């Protein structure tokens, strides 16, 4: 008899361990190398030197349909077998600029180092604003991948030349900013590079905006543009940013905080305290902080590296958790435990990465010292000064665990 329980079990996504084992077996068969899945750091390692982190892949794979999973598995294996994604031509012609949150890339770099990746395997970035960076991508036939320093070295390119070539390659692909309403435009071609199309000067300058260009890069495939001279248009862009927080269909989100080009340099938007939209901008900045921590938390959970506090009771005892990282997040972002949301990471390298990640976000969001303060503890040692102010958090953890957590 088909029961509700059997339906639920049948529909459940595969575990991270099953996905990793399947991918390792696929790559081993394709290459003849011996590849294994390391569940502890969510990676695939092969005896021929190949290495890849699965954190972001696992999140998307487990959310995909059964048919989509098979396609994703094949594509990922293709790119691990041939890191150039089947590329056989002139690499400089395939370079593309991509926009990413700076904190995301710093965390990825920290995790890559913790997992033993060589320096030449890292991605190539350059800062755009305080919170956003440009990342050099390779638009390969089977999938996009990040360009590595070794790619540039092999093609006798320095970083400046590579990014200039990437931007000119993007400019060569026809696109247009579509009018959304008077003085407000959008771009959403869906090819994966809409987040960086504002870097192409000619189409942007051709809009004849009122004031300096103001851009909201909502997601990889969605950006809005207006001029900053009219307070009403600034308010409209901020309203669009807030509306994107309610759009569950958006993937690969980039930022809720608009950026503006002043004197040829892109900067995060700031407004004086008496500006009519200053409160809305502050709210978006704090929501951005919460969204980035939420995205990273989802990635860690998908890789088996963390559990929300609400799930700890009955899963493991307080004495079994060797490392603690407690994150306070806005009540609106996640279901809270008491007044707080907690995350426990049981892996030391991830803990260090999280500490870096949240410190950066706290600085970027210009949070007051007592607003959503993170607490880091490693093996019982407090990393932040004055731990007494975090006593309510430990009380919440104790209630969730049914026993005092290690201090």
**What was the pLDDT predicted at 305?**
39
Residue 77 pLDDT > 90: no
Residue 329 pLDDT > 50: no
**What was the pLDDT predicted at 45?**
72
Tokens 């999973």 map to which residue?
Answer: 69
The sign one gets for the Cα dihedral 403, 39, 292, 251 is negative
**What was the pLDDT predicted at 107?**
60
Torsion of CA 257, 261, 263, 265, to 10 degrees: 70
**What was the pLDDT predicted at 254?**
85
Tokens 């890789």 map to which residue?
Answer: 303
- Calculate the average pLDDT of the chain: 66
**What was the pLDDT predicted at 13?**
59
Q: Is 362 helix (H, G, I), strand (E, B) or coil?
A: helix
**What was the pLDDT predicted at 81?**
60
What value does the mean pLDDT take over residues 278-295? 71
| Tens of pLDDT, residues 353-383 | 444 444 444 444 443 433 333 443 333 333 3
Tokens 């090819």 map to which residue?
Answer: 191
Which backbone phi and psi does 267 adopt, to 5 degrees? Answer: -140, 155
CA-nearest of 201, 242, 234 to 218 is: 242
196 burial type by CB count under 10 A (0-12 exposed, 13-18 middle, 19+ buried): buried
Residue 283 pLDDT > 70: yes
More confident residue, 17 or 235: 235
CA-nearest of 224, 229, 227, 259 to 243 is: 224
Residue 401 pLDDT > 50: no
**What was the pLDDT predicted at 399?**
52
State the pLDDT confidence band at 33, using cuts at 50, 70 and 90.
confident
% of residues, the chain, pLDDT over 90: 17
- 243: Cβ–Cβ under 8 A, 6 or more apart, which residues? none
Find the angle CA(377)-CA(378)-CA(379) to the nearest 5 degrees.
Answer: 120
CA-nearest of 306, 223, 217, 205 to 255 is: 217
More confident residue, 147 or 335: 147
State the pLDDT confidence band at 100, using cuts at 50, 70 and 90.
confident
d(CA 239, CA 244): 9
Residue 348 pLDDT > 80: no
Least confident interval from 9-18, 26-35, 163-172: 9-18
| Tens of pLDDT, residues 224-264 | 999 999 999 999 999 999 888 777 666 677 888 899 999 99
226 within 8 A of 200, measured Cβ to Cβ: no
The strand pairing partners of 230, in sequence order, are none
State the pLDDT confidence band at 345, using cuts at 50, 70 and 90.
very low
**What was the pLDDT predicted at 36?**
81
């Amino acid at each position: 008899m088909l029961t509700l329980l059997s339906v639920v079990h049948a529909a459940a996504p595969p575990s991270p361990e099953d996905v990793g084992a399947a991918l390792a077996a696929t790559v081993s068969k394709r290459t003849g190398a011996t590849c294994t899945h390391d569940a502890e750091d969510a990676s695939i390692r092969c005896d021929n030197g190949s290495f890849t982190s699965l954190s972001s892949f696992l999140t998307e794979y487990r959310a995909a349909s059964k048919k989509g999973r098979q396609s994703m598995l094949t594509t990922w294996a293709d790119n691990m077998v041939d890191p150039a994604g089947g590329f056989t031509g002139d690499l400089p012609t395939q370079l593309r600029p991509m926009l990413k949150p700076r904190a995301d890339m710093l965390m990825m770099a920290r995790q890559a180092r913790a997992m033993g990746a060589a320096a030449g395997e890292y991605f190539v970035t350059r800062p755009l604003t305080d919170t956003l960076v440009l990342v050099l991508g390779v638009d390969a036939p089977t999938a996009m991948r990040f360009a590595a320093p070794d790619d540039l070295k092999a093609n006798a390119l320095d970083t400046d030349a590579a990014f200039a070539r990437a931007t000119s390659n993007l400019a060569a692909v026809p696109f247009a900013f579509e009018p959304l309403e008077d003085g407000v435009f959008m771009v959403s071609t869906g090819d994966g590079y809409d987040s960086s199309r504002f870097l192409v000067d000619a189409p942007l300058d051709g809009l004849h905006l009122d004031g300096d260009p103001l851009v909201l890069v909502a997601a990889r495939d969605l950006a809005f543009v207006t001029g900053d001279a009219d307070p009403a248009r600034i308010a409209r862009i901020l309203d669009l940013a807030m509306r994107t927080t309610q759009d569950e269909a958006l993937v690969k989100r980039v930022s809720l905080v608009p950026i503006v080009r002043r004197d040829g340099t892109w900067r995060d938007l700031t407004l004086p305290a008496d500006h009519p939209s200053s409160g809305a901008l502050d709210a978006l900045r704090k929501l951005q902080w919460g969204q980035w921590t939420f995205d990273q938390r989802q990635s860690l959970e998908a890789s088996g590296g963390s559990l929300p506090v609400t799930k700890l009771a009955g899963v493991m005892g307080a004495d079994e958790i060797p490392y603690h990282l407690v994150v306070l997040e806005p009540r609106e972002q996640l279901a809270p435990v008491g007044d707080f949301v907690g995350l426990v990471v049981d892996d030391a390298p991830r803990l260090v990465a999280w500490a870096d990640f949240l410190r950066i976000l706290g600085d970027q969001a210009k949070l007051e010292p007592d607003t959503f303060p993170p607490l880091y503890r490693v093996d019982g040692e407090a990393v932040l000064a004055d731990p007494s102010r975090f006593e309510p958090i430990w009380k919440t953890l104790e209630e969730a665990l049914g026993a005092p957590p290690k201090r």
